[in-house]
Amino acid sequence: MATNRTFTMVKPDAVESNYIGGILKMINDAGFKVVALKFTRLTEAQAGAFYEVHKERPFYGELVGYMSSGPIVAAILEKDNAVEDFRKLIGATNPANADEGTIRKIYAKSIAANAVHGSDSDDNAAIEGNFFFSNLERF
């Protein structure tokens, strides 16, 4: 059964380009409520652990280096059918394939610097939210 929470990050490219406000506005306008929020920077070890599921992929080293290259915004979002609806809002992983009006179509630079992360399942949304936030930091 779908849960009503997902996890997102505004990635280093989008933070560096001053897109935090624009991206959070799109998220709010699409009906998502922010229930946890943090501005932080991952170490290489933390980025490696967060993306451990991809560690056999050829792009893993690039991904870890990139995600620890600058600050990110992490958030837990609430809405009915959150995981699926958020993936629709952000668009395809590769912005070249993202639909018009999606966050990645508007803000992403490349498949690596693709502006935002969105959980791909309810289980991963819970795991990823727990990676960044304690129970005292979510509402």
Question: Could you give the residue numbers annotated as active site?
Answer: 117
Q: Segment contacting ligand CMP (CB under 6 A): 20-28, 77-85, 111-119, 128-136?
A: 111-119
Stretch touching ligand CMP by CB under 6 A, among 12-20, 70-78, 109-117, 127-135: 109-117
Smallest distance, Å, CB 98 to ligand CMP?
A: 12
Q: Is 65 left (phi over 0), alpha (psi -120 to 50) or beta?
A: alpha
Distance CA 91, CA 100 (A): 9
Question: Which part of the chain contacts ligand CMP (CB under 6 A), choosing from 13-21, 37-45, 110-118, 121-129?
Answer: 110-118
The answer to whether residues 137 and 38 touch, using CB atoms and an 8 Å cutoff, is: yes
Least distance to ligand CMP, CB of residue 135, Å: 24
63 contributes a contact to ligand CMP by CB under 6 A: yes
Q: Which of 16, 44, 52, 62 binds ligand CMP (CB under 6 A)?
A: 62
24 half-sphere exposure, CB direction, 13 A CA radius: 17
CB atoms within 10 A of CB 2: 13
Residue 36 in contact with residue 133, Cβ under 8 Å?
yes
User: Is residue 59 a contact point for ligand CMP (CB under 6 A)?
Assistant: yes
